[in-house]
Structure 1
Amino acid sequence: MEKPVFDFAMNSTRRHFLSRLSLGLGSAALGSLLVPDIFGKGGDEGGSGLIPGQPHFAPKAKRVIYLFQNGAPSQFELFDHKPLLNKMFGQDLPESVRGGQRLTGMTANQKNFPLAGSIFNFARYGASGAEISELLPYTSRIVDDICIIKSMHTDAINHDPALTFFQTGAQVGNRPSMGSWLSYGLGSENQNLPGFCVLLSRGLGNGQGVYSKLWTNGFLDSVHQGVQFSSGENPVLYLGDPEGMDRAERRRMLDKLAALNQGTYDEFGDPEIMAKIQQYEMAYRMQTAVPEVADMSKEPESVVKMYGPDCLVPGTYAANCLLARKLSEQGVRFVQLYHQGWDGHAALPKEIRGQCLDVDQASAALVTDLKQRGLLDETLVIWGGEFGRTNYCQGAFTQDNYGRDHHPRAFTIWMAGGGVKPGLVYGETDDFGYNIVSNPVHVHDLHATILNQLGLDHEKLTFKHQGRRYRLTDVSGKLVKGIIA
């Protein structure tokens, strides 16, 4: 007769508990303290994630900082200068250019698609002669350190699926995010900090929401989920000791809890139980590590000047960029920033000015700071949104007040460091900025290339779930060899 499921709980006597105690501490809780790498790396294919993982080949980068501009920045106002749109201002987009391509519900009923050129000036910078908008004076100074990709395209035309697609490789939710895949495949370099951290900020422009499914572990073990930092007094919520409990008592409580969890794991073999033990131990170590890394008071005046005064205001984009550098410097594998406010359906010229004031200086400062510290070569920095903006106006407009709808067919992002070619402009769009004419880069291609720079073959980094082997790039993706140094 099989033992009932509740048999272990019913027979957990004092003697049974004490006999399990040393086993639990030795194999789990203390193990993670005495042997730091025991839980530090990624996992076997479809397994528990406890077997140390290694890159498939020599990596060019060790970690990633992703500066996600949530809401979709307009490439026409920032990077993809199209003088023809100014010459044809107000004229209808030729049907031969649009080609019956998909529209959103916001412009599907428009009878006309009046072209709108940018009101902002562009100039050429750097050895590459890249054209950068006057809205980005700081970015123009680092143009020889970044790779501008003008030929990105995606499958999704609305924010939620497009944002989810960029973060997880799928338009539906509950798939592991990119940071979780990297944590699974490579683990963390610092046992006192999570391998995957999430930072949020919001600008003054029209915002789109962000939500925890974007940094979920999905079907991977929960140790790979992103840890969200807060802008309040406590960077990570609920990290402190409970009221009335000192550090020694906290340690004793965790030891006993680990022993109980270990006993349950021995009985039922659920790998998620081991993940819980790891999370408790990580939280204990983070109590010291997080306040230290989040402390900006020791940053020299030169660094504050570089990022701008907002870097001392928790929760701002500038503060999060500086915190991202500090976390990356301490070995955090993947730092994900989300900055909301780029959804320019109306009053775009006014809103985009404010957004650029928020992000331009700090984004450029991050690249410069990493370079000065000798960290840029091993840190891959990515800047961009979930899709682009249309070359035609949405709704009523004037020459200096217009809005743009969603455009998944062609848009711009930039990358820096991590073995990516600096000072390169890659890909090209047509004179209308509507279609790609050379070197298209799909989201799956971008994911494959990011994994490649960290020494991972995107076709081999898989996890078996419900009978199928999943990967970040699904069944697609190819390396963008033209941007790899």
Structure 2
Amino acid sequence: MNLQSLTRRHFFGASSAGLGGAALASLLAQQGFADAPPTPAVAPLPAKVKRVIYLFQSGGPAQHDLFDYKPLLNQKNGEQLPPEVRGGQRLTGMSAQQASLPLAGSQFKFAQHGQSGAWLSDLLPHHREIADDLCFVKSMWTEAINHDPAITFFQTGSQIAGRPSLGAWISYGLGSMNDDLPSFIVLVTANQGDQPLYARLWGSGFLDSKFQGVQFRPGAEPVLYLSNPDGVCRSGRRAMLDKLSALNRLQFEQELDPEIESRITQYEMAYRMQTSVPDATDLSQETDATFEMYGADSRTPGTFAANCLLARRLAERGVRFIQLYHQGWDHHGGLPAGIREQCRETDQASAALVKDLKQRGMLDDTLVIWGGEFGRTSYSQGALTANDYGRDHHPRCFTVWMAGGGVRPGMSYGATDDYGYNIVDPDGAPLTPTKDAFTPGAVHVHDLQATILHLLGVDHTQLVYKHQGRRFRLTDVHGHVVNDLLA
């Protein structure tokens, strides 16, 4: 090879064999002349959990009808939202067109449950059974007011598409706990026609493609193109992969492109998954008692209940990050009927997952998260009638819950005002949180992400990847660990 044909990749590939070359590559990266190598970060903190199961409720569940009990809304039902409560906060284009903003009390009854006294509506009868296992965060907030940027923000730490997803960051930072399944798996409830979901929500962005989520689908072929085509046996597939690997390695020696090595790794993983995936997704191995616990829907592949049961099976097999998506919570109108159906589909299975993990001794090292991209307004969008109302998007305060190792069970963190419109401190004084500084009692999206990484043993400020001359991280330049949530 002559000097004229010596490319940048060849230079770093050849020089990295020695300590001097490694030092030079590291120095150049520090000085901004080379991208950081895609090696997993070392977790510097003691990990409290090994895995995460994230039950993402796409569309924005109405917290006033589920978790955040506001009797004042019932007392003032139909009255106008006071201007001083709104405080000039922006509205969506839908609410901005309304002549009035009538307060909407919930049609559902609330009661306290468990020793913790957690408030739950009668839409969630199965949540009552796990009330003392849950850590409610009632003061979540975000800047995003529309679905796509809000979901993207929760999943990637940025409202702009293209960044690595939470699961990809975790896979990059901690690696895999097993050899036969991906470290990041995605399950989407089938036949949900509400707000669209995009594969970029579980993508790897600028990280290596091997860190992206792998979607499992219901049916005979959970992973597309995994099975051998007609006429190809397993030994034939093995021989083909061996030849393909040899060709890819020749190409790598010429180009030194790390994506080629990732391709080889993914081919080998797919080969092993031909055996591991059918075993993991075979729910017929479960007992009748387990199906009864998760509900009748758990026998139907692709339902939220079946996906919750599958998530437990994947967690048992060492999958580090399992992301469930369930759509249908976007109730701008017809909320009473719509949210009743959503809770019918999700309440029992969500509670069963927590109980199942607990009885198997897995909850201590598993973090379960439940929540959407924002909350809903305390006023009705559109007409308010005796039997019907809707709620618009509300990013300023909403509820998520967590359960499992490392979080304090049986607690509610943060509070909202009597109208459920703003976050307040324990004395009821309004809070005006900003993402630039941590506000006790309020939890920003980046704070939640920082806390999730902390529970996994990762300092969110140290999980960094250099791309195009800038150091990126999931929490950007923000985020604080919410220590009050930690056990």
> What is the TM-score normalised by the length of structure 2?
0.89
* Alignment map for 1:371-390 (pairs within 5 Å): 371-390=358-377
Structure 2 residue 465 is the aligned partner of structure 1 residue 463: yes
Partner residue of 1:59 out of 16, 27, 47: 47
Structure 2 residue 250 is the aligned partner of structure 1 residue 263: yes
Q: Would you identify which runs of 4 or more consecutive aligned residues in structure 1 move more than 6 Å?
A: none
Partner of 2:27: none
Q: Which letter maps to 1:167?
A: Q
Asked if 2 retains the 8 angstrom alpha-carbon contact of 1:383 and 1:414, the reply is yes
Task: Tell me the distance in 2 between the aligned counterparts of 1:228 and 1:203.
Answer: 15
Q: Which letter maps to 2:339?
A: I
Partner of 1:278: 265
Asked if 2 retains the 8 angstrom alpha-carbon contact of 1:202 and 1:340, the reply is no
* Alignment map for 1:46-85 (pairs within 5 Å): 47-49=36-38, 51=39, 53-85=41-73
Asked if 2 retains the 8 angstrom alpha-carbon contact of 1:147 and 1:416, the reply is yes
Partner residue of 1:422 out of 390, 403, 409: 409
Counterpart secondary structure, 2:77: coil
How far has the Cα of 1:399 moved from its partner?
2.5
Structure 2 residue 290 is the aligned partner of structure 1 residue 288: no
Partner residue of 2:176 out of 188, 210, 214: 188
Asked if 2 retains the 8 angstrom alpha-carbon contact of 1:448 and 1:458, the reply is yes
Q: Which letter maps to 1:189?
A: M
Asked if 1 retains the 8 angstrom alpha-carbon contact of 2:41 and 2:463, the reply is no
Q: Deviations over 1:203-259 (max 9, x none)?
A: 77x711111010000000000010001112111111011221111111111111111
C-alpha spacing 1:202/1:240, structure 2 compared with 1 (3 Å): closer
Q: Deviations over 1:73-118 (max 9, x none)?
A: 0000000010000111111000000011010011112121100010
C-alpha spacing 1:203/1:129, structure 2 compared with 1 (3 Å): farther
How far has the Cα of 1:4 moved from its partner?
9.6
Task: Tell me the distance in 2 between the aligned counterparts of 1:188 and 1:305.
Answer: 32
Q: Which letter maps to 2:170?
A: L
Counterpart secondary structure, 1:207: coil
Task: Tell me the distance in 2 between the aligned counterparts of 1:371 and 1:67.
Answer: 17
Asked if 1 retains the 8 angstrom alpha-carbon contact of 2:78 and 2:384, the reply is no
Asked if 2 retains the 8 angstrom alpha-carbon contact of 1:192 and 1:289, the reply is yes
Task: Tell me the distance in 2 between the aligned counterparts of 1:450 and 1:52.
Answer: 18
Q: Structure 2: which 5+ runs fail to align?
A: 11-33, 426-440
Task: Tell me the distance in 2 between the aligned counterparts of 1:386 and 1:203.
Answer: 20
Counterpart secondary structure, 1:119: coil
Q: Deviations over 1:247-300 (max 9, x none)?
A: 111111111111111111111111111110111000000000000000011101
Number of positions where the alignment pairs a residue of Structure 1 with one of Structure 2: 445
Partner of 1:112: 100
Partner residue of 1:226 out of 178, 189, 213: 213
How far has the Cα of 1:54 moved from its partner?
3.3
Structure 2 residue 486 is the aligned partner of structure 1 residue 484: yes
Task: Tell me the distance in 2 between the aligned counterparts of 1:263 and 1:76.
Answer: 60
Partner of 1:127: 115
Task: Tell me the distance in 1 between the aligned counterparts of 2:5 and 2:247.
Answer: 19
How far has the Cα of 1:53 moved from its partner?
4.5
Asked if 2 retains the 8 angstrom alpha-carbon contact of 1:48 and 1:221, the reply is no
Partner residue of 2:302 out of 315, 330, 345: 315
Counterpart secondary structure, 1:338: strand
Q: Deviations over 1:352-380 (max 9, x none)?
A: 00000000000000000000000001100
Task: Tell me the distance in 1 between the aligned counterparts of 2:275 and 2:37.
Answer: 28
* Alignment map for 1:10-409 (pairs within 5 Å): 47-49=36-38, 51=39, 53-202=41-190, 207-409=194-396
Q: Which letter maps to 2:137?
A: I
Task: Tell me the distance in 1 between the aligned counterparts of 2:183 and 2:409.
Answer: 27
Q: Structure 1: which 5+ runs fail to align?
A: 9-44
Partner residue of 2:476 out of 452, 463, 474: 474
C-alpha spacing 1:198/1:480, structure 2 compared with 1 (3 Å): same
Q: Which letter maps to 1:70?
A: S
How far has the Cα of 1:127 moved from its partner?
1.4
Task: Tell me the distance in 1 between the aligned counterparts of 2:351 and 2:190.
Answer: 18
Structure 2 residue 436 is the aligned partner of structure 1 residue 434: no
Counterpart secondary structure, 2:377: strand
How far has the Cα of 1:48 moved from its partner?
4.5
Task: Tell me the distance in 2 between the aligned counterparts of 1:441 and 1:172.
Answer: 21
- Superposed CA RMSD in Å reads 1.5
Q: Which letter maps to 1:146?
A: L
How far has the Cα of 1:446 moved from its partner?
0.1
> What is the TM-score normalised by the length of structure 1?
0.90
